[in-house]
Amino acid sequence: MGFGIEREGGDTVEVRRVALVGTGVIGAGWAARFAVNGIDVRIHDPDPRAPERVAGALEDAKRACARLTLAPPAPPGRIEFAADVDEAVAGAGFVQESAPEREEVKRALLAAASRAAPPEAVIASSTSGLLPSRLQADCTAPERVLVGHPFNPVYLLPLVEVVGGDATSSEARDRAAAVYRAVGMHPLVLEAETDAFIADRLMEALWREALHLVRDGVATAEQIDEAIAFGPGLRWSVMGTFLLYRLAGGEAGMQHFLEQFAPTLALPWSHLQGPELTEDLAARITTQSDAQAAGRTIRELVRLRDDCLVSVMQGLRVHDHGAGATLRAWEAKLFSRAHRAARSKNHDLARPLALHAARVDPEWVDFNNHMTESRYLQVFGDATDALLRFAGADDGYMATGRSFYTVETHIRHLREVAGGESVTVTTQVLGSDEKRVQLFHRMFHDTGGGPREEGAEPRRGAELATAEHMLLHVDTAAGRAAPAAPEIAARLAAIAAAQAPLGTPDGAGRRIAMP
Amino acid sequence: MGFGIEREGGDTVEVRRVALVGTGVIGAGWAARFAVNGIDVRIHDPDPRAPERVAGALEDAKRACARLTLAPPAPPGRIEFAADVDEAVAGAGFVQESAPEREEVKRALLAAASRAAPPEAVIASSTSGLLPSRLQADCTAPERVLVGHPFNPVYLLPLVEVVGGDATSSEARDRAAAVYRAVGMHPLVLEAETDAFIADRLMEALWREALHLVRDGVATAEQIDEAIAFGPGLRWSVMGTFLLYRLAGGEAGMQHFLEQFAPTLALPWSHLQGPELTEDLAARITTQSDAQAAGRTIRELVRLRDDCLVSVMQGLRVHDHGAGATLRAWEAKLFSRAHRAARSKNHDLARPLALHAARVDPEWVDFNNHMTESRYLQVFGDATDALLRFAGADDGYMATGRSFYTVETHIRHLREVAGGESVTVTTQVLGSDEKRVQLFHRMFHDTGGGPREEGAEPRRGAELATAEHMLLHVDTAAGRAAPAAPEIAARLAAIAAAQAPLGTPDGAGRRIAMP
């Protein structure tokens, strides 16, 4: 059972099964995207390795989607193989052709599909650049034949260019867009057809320039790739060239940018000759750029760009890859500088200890951009780890087969906190014996909005939550409670004694009950 | 006080103060990057608006860096303005020129800087594409003059192209690279100079192609930007074109890709004519691509690409922007589908309700392959959501601005569970009134170990944990407690009444205390 497909008009149409013709990297990606969205797939591909390719793409897609969202997946659609095009497309609500990029091959397959598919089925070609008017020429009912050009990996990237030919109806374009939207894509519906459409023309220009650079011995493949992924590529994941250049123009905007950089167009800065920047063209770009900015100021757009760039780089940091690896190396430098400074600092044991701070990571938020409840516990757990390390139970100690396990937790949620915000935790040791330690954490919004300069105190905002924990010291090999090392038990007892005058904090020792 | 600057040779040099000549968008970005990295900055810029521009960039940079990392920042460097170039560069360890993109202007400023700067200072130009051999022509000691080409916003993007001219020493390039690395950048050191270097040639080719598209009326600025940011731009934040195309070739790799797509180079898919893909050029690309892959298989690289794309899209989701907005819309659809499915099932209200099951994801485990404590709460939170939806508080209801918030949680951890294992949760409603509901969940190991046939019961193994929750119904717009819709309150009360004979479960109503 597929999604209800919402069409532009507001009425709903359901696609339960799609037909795929051809399953190379792109077609296999389509199979995976449709299947993970609960839509059955019937495939024709004469290549005996096709089932293996499709299974591999489905595995990759399931893995990626499980990481992408906490939403429960749809029951996956069934994938079957058909002996020929006719059998694949019979009864299908939608047909997607992804055969090799040769016009005669695609024309023949699309013509066959159009003869055997139900009359209401829309038929899309994944071509990277062949013209839909030519592809639909031999088709029965060519008004429902068009291009739906996706990008690898098809199961992850949202873009799909929807391009009609001379014979294509606007109804077919709307319907294709609705199908793509239903499986999580962003259809870009173009009014006019042109060789290679939009994205591939841009990619092709860049690629051909790159080939010239390699041929001329100016740079290697690896250098060219670094020149993209550590700079312009980061920006392009957030905004396209026009909006980015509007921002580069500063407060004066697009008109200023075009005036300032018009001479550059005449320089030998690419093998591609640009068009003449006539007054008419400059005026058209400025008008279109103003429309795109939709009243947002340069300052607003700069902040949006920067916030998105920060999140993109943080995302890459998780994988220690590309710009994320650069960020990690820079952070390591900052941390080691801060640790050097902190080692000289004495903590006042008689006050709640501020040993842990965190930022609400992009992955931690719910649909309303609020930190989800389990991430509160994650932050409190990290604060517990920081306290234990402070007491001497560090990695070296754990490696001796001893550890503290949390056996009981009591959380009070007081206020929401949004993605990107910072929080800071203070910790009080309420009690301890040789096997146990009882902790009380308070989490505050850090209104300083981020890490602080050395020595500065966090600017504590609203209290967000509290957590009380009972920890048990265990011999991990034996799997049972055991006394902690005397020096650690003593250190915890010393903190508890120093903090005893603080008394039992508000919210500790509670039980849950209806009023 | 600046960072210790590590040089390639292993010895260390400290840059305490840099001089900046020219502070447009790029120069102001340099000022901000150096200052937030603790390096003093002395600026010459005759424009009276320069101080305002620099202050704005510094504010943006501080905000961005605070979001970027939890590491405590260095104490910021001082920013001062000098009356002329001589005063700015006197005593500086490093000079960065960012004047307007006119060769005669830059040559004059660089020459002046080279006369007044200390002999050991490296002098870099931010030019987007002018040749360093020409820029250094009028300089004193031209061997330490080179190009250091950054990307906007300079305080965030790591890429900087380091390009020497005919007179530049390799020692100067190394030293510039070390300075840039110390302030968190990724220097790309090129062996040969060429107009516009690497990144700008690629960007310029794409930009000129985009201008052709607008001139020809094929697409608008906004459509062109979408064609980048929803597709290829996402990939380019992760990898460059060569590595991406290697992956697009599938297991057969780069050689296969080139063979398959060579005919495309002859198609009118860009206004730019590519070079002929001779055997020699194809061999060179294949060799360079193999070196870049560094022994990683296509499968490994595909997973790296996908994992990074997932993280990038999640990062954009925080800002509900671009591909992140598409992701958010798709998630909403998945959630509402899952909720509809759950409601259609029949449950015996007199027994604890089994509404939620989960598998322990590989990401959820600690280094001992045990589920971390915060993931227990994640599973319990999902079980709470399932109960609320079961009672009628679904997405449609939430969309009316009403919701249940967890205000208090009490967890008991009883047993560990390993990654890959399945768990199932049963839920009892202990009490409710018009604004509150008190729940008790029990989590069991599901020894059935996997997805079940529709209607089949889980095979319950050991009890792993319990969670007691108090939820409050809120008016989310007003931000305060409010009565739930009568039909939902009635449904919750009915479940509580039906389950009342079960009594208070073991472990409910506890408080945490030392024995």
Contact B419, B445 (CB under 8 A): no
Q: Do B64 and A306 touch (CB under 8 A)?
A: yes
Q: Is B399 on the interface with A (CB under 8 A)?
A: no
Q: In b/e form, how buried is each residue of B100-137, taking b as 16+ CB within 10 angstroms?
A: ebeeeebbebbbbbbebbeeebbbbbbbbbbbbbebbb
Alpha-carbon distance of B330 to B177, in angstroms, equals 43
* Count of A-B CB contacts under 8 Å: 648
Q: Is the pLDDT of residue B363 over 80?
A: no
Strands B4-6 and B12-14, sheet pairing: antiparallel
Q: Is B493 on the interface with A (CB under 8 A)?
A: no
Q: What is the pTM of this model?
A: 0.82
State how far the alpha carbon of A367 is from the alpha carbons of A171, A370, A418, B58, B320, in Å.
33, 7, 11, 32, 10
Q: Residue A7: what pLDDT?
A: 43
Q: Is B242 on the interface with A (CB under 8 A)?
A: yes
Q: Where are the beta strands (DSSP E) in B28-90?
A: 40-44, 79-81
Q: What is the DSSP letter of B456?
A: P
State how far the alpha carbon of A217 is from the alpha carbons of A96, A163, A213, A447, B239, in Å.
41, 38, 6, 52, 21
Q: Where are the beta strands (DSSP E) in A180-240?
A: 186-190
ipTM > 0.90, yes or no: no
Q: Find the distance separating the first CA and the last CA of chain B, reported in whole Å.
A: 53
pLDDT in tens, B181-195: 999 999 999 999 999
Alpha-carbon distance of B241 to A38, in angstroms, equals 32
Q: Residue A144: what pLDDT?
A: 98
In this prediction, residue A190 has a pLDDT band, given cuts at 50, 70 and 90, of: very high
Chain B residues whose beta carbon lies within 8 Å of the beta carbon of residue A224? 198, 202, 240-242
Residue in chain A closest to B476 (alpha carbons) equals A368
| SS3 assignment for A148-163 | EEECCCCCCCCEEEEE
Alpha-carbon distance of B140 to A115, in angstroms, equals 77
Indicate the angle between helix axes B279-293 and A221-229, nearest 10 degrees: 60
Alpha-carbon distance of B231 to B235, in angstroms, equals 7
Chain A residues whose beta carbon lies within 8 Å of the beta carbon of residue B208? 205, 265, 270, 272-275
Q: Do B312 and A316 touch (CB under 8 A)?
A: yes
Q: Is B363 on the interface with A (CB under 8 A)?
A: yes
pLDDT in tens, B426-467: 999 999 999 999 999 999 998 764 443 334 456 788 999 999
Phi, psi of A350 (to 5 degrees): -80, -10
List, edge to edge, every strand of the sheet that includes A79-81: A79-81, A40-44, A17-21, A94-97, A122-125, A145-150, A159-164, A186-190
From chain A residues 69-128, the ones with a CB under 8 A of any chain B CB are 69-74, 100-101, 128
DSSP states of A373-437: HHHHHHHHHHHHHHHHHHTT--HHHHTTTEEEEEEEEEEEE----BTT-EEEEEEEEEEE-SSEE
Q: Find the distance separating the first CA and the last CA of chain A, reported in whole Å.
A: 46
Residue B241's Cβ-side half-sphere holds a number of Cα atoms within 13 Å equal to 25
In this prediction, residue B4 has a pLDDT band, given cuts at 50, 70 and 90, of: very low
pLDDT in tens, B96-130: 999 999 999 999 999 999 999 999 999 999 999 99
Q: Do A232 and B199 touch (CB under 8 A)?
A: yes
Residue A227's SS3 state is helix
Arithmetic mean of pLDDT over chain A = 90
Q: Is A431 on the interface with B (CB under 8 A)?
A: yes
Of B68, B228, B265, Cβ closest to residue A236: B228
pLDDT in tens, B284-317: 999 999 999 999 999 999 999 999 999 899 889 8
Q: In b/e form, how buried is each residue of B305-336, taking b as 16+ CB within 10 angstroms?
A: bbbbbbbbbbbbbbbebbbbbbbbebbebbbb
The candidate with the shortest Cα–Cα distance to A355, out of A364, A363, A340, A345, is A345
pLDDT in tens, A92-151: 999 999 999 999 999 999 999 999 999 999 999 999 999 999 999 999 999 999 999 999
Q: What percent of chain A has pLDDT over 70?
A: 93
Q: Do B247 and A152 touch (CB under 8 A)?
A: yes
From chain A residues 312-341, the ones with a CB under 8 A of any chain B CB are 312-316, 318-319, 321-324, 326-327, 329-331, 333-335, 337-338, 341
Contact A21, A88 (CB under 8 A): yes
